[in-house]
Amino acid sequence: MFSVPGVTEVPAHNAPQPYICIVLSGEGEVTASDGSSVRLGPGGLLYCDDVSGKGHVTRSITDLSLAFISRVNS
């Protein structure tokens, strides 16, 4: 689980590996390097696969709790 206080902006970063982000509580916004944005609330899902390039910016509108699911290679 990952928590971010409200009104926080996480600068542009890449996904370390493809993963699914699940919003557990709060509201946030993700802006891709192409300028497109999506606003997500509780239960929202986002597939992050920008492992190269400029990455994405994450902004919490309220206190935000997230869970991440990634594939584990065996």
Summarised one tens digit per residue, pLDDT across range 8-65 is 999 999 999 999 999 999 999 999 999 999 999 999 999 999 999 999 999 999 999 9
Tokens representing 46 are 């986002």
pLDDT at 72: 74
Return the CATH number at 9: 2.60.120.10
d(CA 14, CA 22): 17
In Å, how far from its chain's centre is CA 38? 10
Range of the domain at 49: 2-70
Cβ burial of 53 (10 Å; 0-12, 13-18, 19+) is exposed
d(CA 2, CA 66): 5
Number of folded domains in the chain? 1
Answer whether 0.75 is exceeded by the pTM: yes
**Overall residue count recorded for the chain in this entry:** 74
